[in-house]
Structure 1
Amino acid sequence: MSRTVYVNGAFVPEAEATVSVFDRGFLMADGVYEVTTVMDGRLVDFPGHMARLERSLSELDMPSPATADELLALHRELLERNGLQQGRVYLQVTRGNPGDRDFAFPDPATVAPTLVLFTQETPAPEAIGAARSGLRVISVPDIRWHRRDIKTVQLLYPSMAKMMAKAAGADDAWLVEDGKVTEGTSNNAYIVKNGRIVTRELSHDILHGITRAALLRYAREAQMVVEERAFTIAEAQAADEAFITSASAFVMPVVSVDGAQIGAGTPGPVATRLREIYLEESRKAAL
């Protein structure tokens, strides 16, 4: 059955969902996005995603196409129209269609932003096998631009890094800059050593993950020790555990880095427990 997609004020069948070839998202990657997880028909961490969207728009001096309440209503309408119970809602805002190609920003008073939303169905969290087996990652140089805290649609290099991992027989890649791990291709990275959870501190160098923020809050509430600092690949290989977080992966164990086994080579107790806590708390707080 065809999905219903939202494009600039209208809910339309996906085959009819189009934007102009002059849209700056297409020509300049001049856009930002958010992905909100849906569990049991409800939205997970929605306020956090909307707060980050507003921050991304502000950092790029891009007008917002709608209020948070209006976007919540659009998300809920899209869920209802598509009957989505497990999956995600993708939202993208671009600087719009100025009618031609130009490096200069169009006047926001005359060119409205483009707003697109669509749904993607995924298995229930309990059915994701990688949570039981763990992920294998490789390291690659981080050559992205230096405003990774803005969630833009400039995703070519992370996609290339993901393909490098697949070519190497791995599941994903961790990006490394100045000898330290920044993050994964589409996730935040963590190690566990002697019971301490280590993850890179917030800055322009990494995306300010919404799942990261919730997970660290839950970890501290559970009396776990969190250390926010950068770590090396060698530290990761010598760690007791490793894992990633993202809106789509939740908490996912990592069992090897660059071919070196992490700990016992199986998902560890800290990552396993954090995944349980995150799923439980997210279901309680979902909208």
Structure 2
Amino acid sequence: MPIRCKRMADQVIINGAIYPLETPVIPATDLSFLRGCGAFETWRSYQGQPHALGLHLQRLWQAAALFTVQPLADEATIRQWLREAQARSGYAEVKVNAVCSPGDHSEGVFGAIHPRLVIIVRELHEPPASWYQDGVSVITHRGQRELPEHKTVNYLGGLAALQQAQQAGAHEALYQDTEGCIREGVTSNVHVLHGSRVLSPQRGCLNGITRRGLKPLAQELGLSWHDQDLHMDDLLSADEVWLSSAIREIVPVVSVDGQAIKHGKPGPWAERLRSLYRQRCESEALAEARACT
């Protein structure tokens, strides 16, 4: 008798109810659609468990407070929703996108009722190995995100920056503000290594969760960490430049605006840090899951 394989399927959670991704209908009056008003987070699993879920939810609710939405569920409840959605999906590892909306338009410009938490659970696809082996190129883009300390669904500025990057054949665009400071990537934090000193912007950018995780690891390996503004010269004279984000972890940058970093090849520290970071994430994800059972 032939073995029937389990069908894999993306899932979505809407205020605790779980559906196949293509099933639910969200009202067109939802303010995230109608006004571009909403907050979001992205995280991934390690060893089948969400990593840094508490930190991601804390940041999500901080951003949601901007439009007066209070937490819609606690971490333990959301962890249970995720466990059930992942089991239904059949995926061993998942990428999760969570969006919090003020809900459905009710009055005025931003009046809303019935706030909504939408959590999309999809299969995790590891980034291409070439990003880590060969490095990536980036460009700079004049501009800065609105409310850069928060992750909001208003990505119009990022769209223009990433279109410019795509036209240049680059992986990412780095925001350069009116002061000439390099603040962050459209979808990442940026860091540079000078000798044994890591320089990382802290002002005018998202305090990334991956960034926070890298800092103690870099210090464990004997590097010193400095939160400070970056300028173009800091990147071009660096020994290494890295991007960091939840899905990509740490990616080495080998050129900025067509100019090579050092020898135009990934340096040794990016892979060393990424290997240690991944090990730490795997152990943390399992420990967090045990603590919540």
TM-score (norm 2): 0.90
What does residue 68 of structure 2 align with?
Answer: 61
How large is the Cα RMSD of the aligned pairs? 1.7
Q: For residue 149 of structure 1, what is the amino acid of its counterpart?
A: E
Give distance in 2, aligned partners of 1:213 and 1:197. 13
Q: For residue 54 of structure 1, what is the amino acid of its counterpart?
A: W
What does residue 197 of structure 1 align with?
Answer: 198
Q: Give the number of equivalent residue pairs.
A: 278
Q: For residue 135 of structure 1, what is the amino acid of its counterpart?
A: V
5 Å-filtered alignment, 1:122-133, equals 122-124=124-126, 128-133=129-134
Give distance in 2, aligned partners of 1:137 and 1:87. 27
What does residue 45 of structure 1 align with?
Answer: 52
Give distance in 2, aligned partners of 1:186 and 1:143. 12
What does residue 241 of structure 2 align with?
Answer: 242
Give distance in 1, aligned partners of 2:231 and 2:209. 23
Give distance in 2, aligned partners of 1:114 and 1:261. 45
What does residue 174 of structure 1 align with?
Answer: 174
5 Å-filtered alignment, 1:1-287, equals 1-99=8-106, 102-106=108-112, 111-124=113-126, 128-145=129-146, 147-177=147-177, 178-201=179-202, 203=203, 205-286=204-285, 287=289
Q: For residue 111 of structure 2, what is the amino acid of its counterpart?
A: F
**SS at the partner of 2:105?**
coil
Give distance in 2, aligned partners of 1:124 and 1:138. 23
Q: CA deviation at 1:159?
A: 2.4
Cα deviation 1:236-278 (Å, max 9, x = unaligned): 0111110011011101111100001001211111211111111
Q: CA deviation at 1:99?
A: 4.6
Give distance in 1, aligned partners of 2:239 and 2:96. 34
Contact 1:64–1:113 (CA<8 Å) still a contact in 2?
Answer: no
- The gaps in structure 2 that reach 5 residues or longer are 1-7
**SS at the partner of 2:104?**
coil
Does 151-160 or 50-59 show the bigger shift?
50-59
Contact 1:3–1:82 (CA<8 Å) still a contact in 2?
Answer: yes
Q: CA deviation at 1:3?
A: 2.0
Contact 2:101–2:117 (CA<8 Å) still a contact in 1?
Answer: yes
Contact 2:60–2:100 (CA<8 Å) still a contact in 1?
Answer: no
Give distance in 2, aligned partners of 1:31 and 1:92. 7
Give distance in 2, aligned partners of 1:128 and 1:82. 25
Contact 1:183–1:189 (CA<8 Å) still a contact in 2?
Answer: yes
Cα deviation 1:27-48 (Å, max 9, x = unaligned): 1111111111112312112121
Contact 1:140–1:176 (CA<8 Å) still a contact in 2?
Answer: yes
Percent of residue pairs bearing the same amino acid type: 28
Contact 1:197–1:227 (CA<8 Å) still a contact in 2?
Answer: yes
Q: For residue 212 of structure 2, what is the amino acid of its counterpart?
A: A
Does 111-120 or 55-64 show the bigger shift?
55-64
Cα deviation 1:106-125 (Å, max 9, x = unaligned): 3xxxx221111112223346
Cα deviation 1:162-185 (Å, max 9, x = unaligned): 121010111111110110101001
Give distance in 1, aligned partners of 2:230 and 2:38. 31
**SS at the partner of 1:74?**
helix
Contact 1:39–1:124 (CA<8 Å) still a contact in 2?
Answer: no
Q: For residue 197 of structure 1, what is the amino acid of its counterpart?
A: V
Give distance in 2, aligned partners of 1:88 and 1:73. 16
Cα deviation 1:1-54 (Å, max 9, x = unaligned): 542221233211222122100000101111111111112312112121122122
**SS at the partner of 2:26?**
coil
TM-score (norm 1): 0.91
**SS at the partner of 2:65?**
helix
Give distance in 2, aligned partners of 1:128 and 1:45. 24
Give distance in 2, aligned partners of 1:104 and 1:26. 12
Contact 2:140–2:257 (CA<8 Å) still a contact in 1?
Answer: yes
